[in-house]
Amino acid sequence: MDNTFITPHFTFAELTKTNYLEYRSSVELLAKENLEKLDQLAWHLEALRSIIGSPLVITSAVRSEELNTALGGSKTSQHLKIEAVDFVPTKKGAKSALKAIVKSGYPFGQLILEKRGLGQIVHFGVGTKREVLYSPKQGVYETWQE
């Protein structure tokens, strides 16, 4: 994997990693064919890192169609377009991070607080729609309210 930094805190390898080794080459190829979009996504992450005040662990960013299918992702997932990223802040909870992003006024298309195993992750999608959702289990989405 390529550990080249795209931005000060995020590498190509972080944004293209997957535990499904059979799909790694298709994910990396998609990213290499769309370096401008990958760069834009990484700069969004830099902004979010600053807003949240915490380093971020990327759990999913770029997905090829094959990987997305294997994960049970939506056929219209922004991950396929290199316009979405899932992450966990290391110094704050996911719920606290989501609140900080909403409060900051930073532009986003979609923010989702998702339950994963025993924890939670934040899904950030590029855009300006400002849809905030909560997903108590995979495939179930509710409007998020404090």
Q: Distance from first CA to last CA of the chain, Å, rounded? A: 40
Residue 86: inside a domain, yes or no?
A: yes
The domain total for the chain is: 1
pLDDT of residue 37: 97
Within a domain: 3: no
pLDDT-flagged residues of the chain (< 50): none
Note whether residue 82 is domain-resident: yes
Judge whether 4 lies within some domain. Answer: no
Closest CA to 87 of 78, 98, 77: 98
Closest CA to 111 of 136, 101, 146, 52: 101
Whether 37 maps to a domain, the answer reads yes
Which pLDDT score, from 0 to 100, does residue 6 have? Answer: 96
Question: Quick check: is 56 in a domain?
Answer: yes
* Coarse DSSP helix, strand, coil percentages of the chain, rounded to the nearest 5 percent: 40, 25, 35
Task: Find the CATH number of the domain harbouring 126.
Answer: 3.30.1380.10
Task: Give the pLDDT confidence score for residue 45 in this predicted structure.
Answer: 98
Task: State the residue range of the domain holding 119.
Answer: 12-143
Amino acid 1: pLDDT: 54
Q: What is the pTM of this model?
A: 0.93
Helix (H, G, I), strand (E, B) or coil at 106: coil
In a domain, 2, yes or no: no
* Inter-residue contact 70 to 23 (CB < 8 Å): yes
pLDDT at 5: 94
Q: Does some domain include residue 1?
A: no
**Residue 110's pLDDT is what?**
95
Tell me the C-alpha distance between 14 and 142, whole Å: 29
